[in-house]
Structure 1
C-alpha cells in the first residue's frame, strides 16, 4: 500500500509539472458551459447577425427541458471533444516512462507491477473524473439558470453512469499506452476505438449490453426520461469486466516484457 501511495503521489506531481491540473479542468468547464449557452442564445445570435436567412430555426430550441440540455452536454461535448482531450492527456501515461527508462528504474525497486499499474490508473481516473464532474456541475448551473431544473437524483445517477464510461476510457488508454511506443499511434488507436464504441451505441441492444459506451447513453436517458433502463445492469457488468480486463492485459504485458531486466 505504501508503494501505491508513493506512485500515486508521483503521478499527481507529474500532473502539476505538466500543468494538467490547470488546463484539463478548464477544458471541461468550457465544454460544460458551451452546450447550454449555445442552445439558449444561438437563435438570437443568428437573428442579430442576419445570418438566419434561408435557415430554419426550431423555436423550441430555447424552450428545451434542463435534462435534455444536460444530456446534450454529455453526448455532444464530453463524448466527442472531451473523449479526445482525455486521450491526448493520457497517451503518454506509461509510454513516457518506457521511453525515459523510468519504468525499468521503478521495477528494479521493491515495487510490484500491480502497484505500478494501480497507481497509474487510479490517480489518473480520479483526476479525470474530478475534471468531468467539474464541467458537469458548471453545465448544470447554466442549465438551471437558462432552462429548467433537473431532479437531483437523476443528476447524480446520470453522473455515476457516465463516470463508469470514463473508467473504461482511462483503463483502455493506459493499456494502449503500455503496448505501443509512439504517442501518435496510441492517440490514433484510442480515439478511433473509443469514438467507434460511442458511434455504434443504439445500433443493437445486444451490442449495447457489452459496449462500455452505452453507459453514456444510459446517463442521457436518465436525464431526459427520468427513468433507468432495466438493461443497464448488463452494461454495468460488462463495463466493469472490460475495464478489469484492460488492466489485466496491461499487467501481463509489463510482466512479460520484463522491463526490470532491460
Structure 2
C-alpha cells in the first residue's frame, strides 16, 4: 500500500510537469524523423533548389529493417539524452532541497521510495517508446514495405530493456550525488565508457548491453531469434535490477548518515 501511494505520487508529479505529454511527443518525433526525411529526400532537395545541372542523385533501396534501425539510432542518441534529462533530478534535487527527508520521516521504506520513482519513469519511457515505434512502424509499412508484427515487438521489447538500463543508471547516480548536472554527466559518461569498452573487448563482451541494437538488427534481417539477443537482454535486465538494489543501499546509508 505504501509503495502504491508513492508510485501514484510520482505518476501525478510527472503529469503535472507535463512529462506525460511532451516526452511521448519527442520520442515520436525522433522515431519518425529519419524514415520520413529518407523517403522524401528527393522532394526536399528539389524544394531547396535541386541538384546542379548534370548531377545525378539516387537513393539506395532501403529495406524496412534498415529504416527501423534509423529510428533506433536517433533514439540511441537524442532519445537517451531526453530520458537522462527527465530523470536527472528525481532524487538528487529532493535530497538537495530536503524534501526526501520530509518524505522518509513518515516512515517510508527506502527501497519503496527508490523503486516507486524507478517504476514511474519506466512506465513513462516504455509507453513513450511504444507510441514512437508504433508511429514509425506505420510510416515504414506505408513507405518502405512490410515490417512484421513479430519484428516490431522484438524491437520494442529488447530496445526497451536498453532504455530500462539508462533509467536505472540515472536513478543510481541520483542516489550517489546531489547535483542534477553531475547525474547527467556521470550517466552519459558511463554509457560512453561502456560503448568504448565493448568495442575494444568485443571478443569477450558478446553479451554487453551495448550490443543490443546490433543483435536486434541481425534478428530482423535474418528472421531468426538468436540466443545472443536473449542472453544480452537478460544480462541488461539483471544489471538494471542490481543497480536499483545498490541504489537503495547507497541512499539508505547516505540518509542515515545525514
TM-score by length of 1: 0.90
Q: In the alignment, which residue of structure 2 is the partner of 1:88?
A: 85
2:96 to 99, 103, 111: 99
Go from structure 1 to structure 2 and tell me whether the alpha carbon gap of 1:255 and 1:218 turns closer, same or farther (over 3 Å shift). Answer: same
Go from structure 1 to structure 2 and tell me whether the alpha carbon gap of 1:82 and 1:200 turns closer, same or farther (over 3 Å shift). Answer: farther
Structure 1 position 197, deviation (Å):
3.2
Structure 1 position 215, deviation (Å):
2.0
Q: How does 1:1-262 map to 2 (within 5 A)?
A: 2-50=1-49, 52-53=51-52, 57-60=57-60, 63-75=61-73, 77-198=74-195, 204-209=202-207, 211-259=208-256, 262=258
1:77-120 deviations in Å (ceiling 9; x for gaps): 10000000100111011112112212111211132111111101
- Contact 2:129/2:156 (<8 A) preserved: no
Q: Specify the SS of the correspondent of 1:184.
A: helix
In 1, Cα distance between the equivalents of 2:192 and 2:105?
37
Q: Specify the SS of the correspondent of 1:231.
A: helix
1:129-165 deviations in Å (ceiling 9; x for gaps): 1111111111111111111010111111121111111
Structure 1 position 56, deviation (Å):
7.2
Which 10-residue stretch deviates more, 221-230 or 46-55? 46-55
Go from structure 1 to structure 2 and tell me whether the alpha carbon gap of 1:119 and 1:37 turns closer, same or farther (over 3 Å shift). Answer: same
| Pairs aligned (count) | 256
- Contact 2:93/2:179 (<8 A) preserved: no
Structure 1 position 195, deviation (Å):
4.1
In 2, Cα distance between the equivalents of 1:233 and 1:132?
20
In 2, Cα distance between the equivalents of 1:154 and 1:112?
40
Q: Quote the RMSD (CA, aligned, Å).
A: 2.1
In 1, Cα distance between the equivalents of 2:86 and 2:112?
22
Q: Specify the SS of the correspondent of 1:206.
A: coil
Go from structure 1 to structure 2 and tell me whether the alpha carbon gap of 1:4 and 1:56 turns closer, same or farther (over 3 Å shift). Answer: farther
- Contact 2:96/2:179 (<8 A) preserved: no
Which 10-residue stretch deviates more, 78-87 or 9-18? 9-18
Go from structure 1 to structure 2 and tell me whether the alpha carbon gap of 1:70 and 1:199 turns closer, same or farther (over 3 Å shift). Answer: farther
Residue ranges of structure 2 left out of the alignment (5+ in a row) = none
TM-score by length of 2: 0.91
